[in-house]
């Protein structure tokens, strides 16, 4: 019986290419990088390192172009919600990621960044660099995973910056275990997992 390290991924079986990305041939999508995940009920593990990796990628994309291939997705909840509470710091994006002129900001109320938003239309307007999406953010098993799967179904080339994606501890699993499992699943069937330093 072969070990898990010896089997081929589903993408390999299908002949799908291993993707690379640069700040000029792709679009950076920052998913729900909000203070809720740093200091709220949904605080994620290793948030200091994941937010640093996101900020590093953001700087690369800002240095390489006009900012149009940078998308900030922000989760919005109803007034009084216990998470991402509106009109509080928990709902705000990390300070170091504050959007600049030319960068796209999308508010979502559902799990996928494509659901109920104009993300698909916006990416389609960007030409070639809109066809490859570099995903970062939170949580790996919820909004990042769902966005990756939805994007793949829509025909996008999905790249996941693994060190710029995080999760929280959930019943039965640590945040690190959740993130690792999700990235393995997504890398098997939906996209290519890279490190933020490999995007250059």
123 found inside a domain: yes
pLDDT at 2: 56
pLDDT digits 0-9 by tens, 120-162: 999 999 999 999 999 999 999 999 999 999 999 999 999 999 9
The answer to whether the CB of 27 falls within 8 A of the CB of 123 is: yes
Residue ranges in 132-173 assigned as alpha helix (H): 145-153
Euclidean distance between CA atoms 72 and 68, whole angstroms: 11
12 strand-pairing partners = none
8 found inside a domain: no
Which residue do the tokens 């890398």 mark? 187
2 found inside a domain: no
9 found inside a domain: no
Exposed/middle/buried for 64, CB within 10 Å: 0-12, 13-18, 19+? middle
- Give residue 168's domain range: 19-198
**CATH number, domain with residue 121:** 3.40.50.850
Percentage of the chain beyond pLDDT 70 is 98
59 found inside a domain: yes
Q: Say how many domains are in the chain.
A: 1
11 found inside a domain: no
10 found inside a domain: no
Enumerate the active-site residues: 32, 108, 143
pTM reported for the whole predicted model: 0.97
């Amino acid at each position: 019986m072969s070990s898990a390290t010896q089997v081929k991924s589903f993408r390999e079986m299908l002949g799908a290419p291993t993707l690379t990305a640069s700040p000029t041939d792709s679009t950076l999508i920052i998913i729900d990088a909000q203070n809720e995940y740093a200091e709220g009920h949904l605080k994620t593990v290793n948030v200091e390192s994941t937010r640093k990796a996101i900020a590093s990628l953001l700087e690369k994309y800002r240095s390489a172009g006009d900012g149009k291939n940078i998308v900030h997705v922000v989760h919005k909840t109803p007034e009084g919600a216990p998470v991402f509470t509106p009109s509080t710091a928990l709902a705000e994006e990390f300070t170091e990621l504050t959007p600049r002129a030319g960068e796209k900001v999308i508010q979502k109320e559902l799990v996928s960044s494509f659901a109920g938003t104009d993300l698909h239309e916006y990416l389609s307007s960007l030409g070639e660099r809109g066809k490859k999406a570099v995903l970062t953010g939170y949580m790996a098993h919820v909004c990042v995973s769902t966005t990756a799967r939805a994007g793949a179904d829509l025909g996008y080339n999905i790249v996941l910056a693994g060190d710029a994606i995080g999760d929280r501890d959930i019943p039965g699993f640590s945040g690190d275990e959740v993130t690792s499992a999700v990235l393995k699943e997504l890398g098997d069937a939906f996209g290519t997992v890279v490190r933020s330093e490999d995007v250059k």
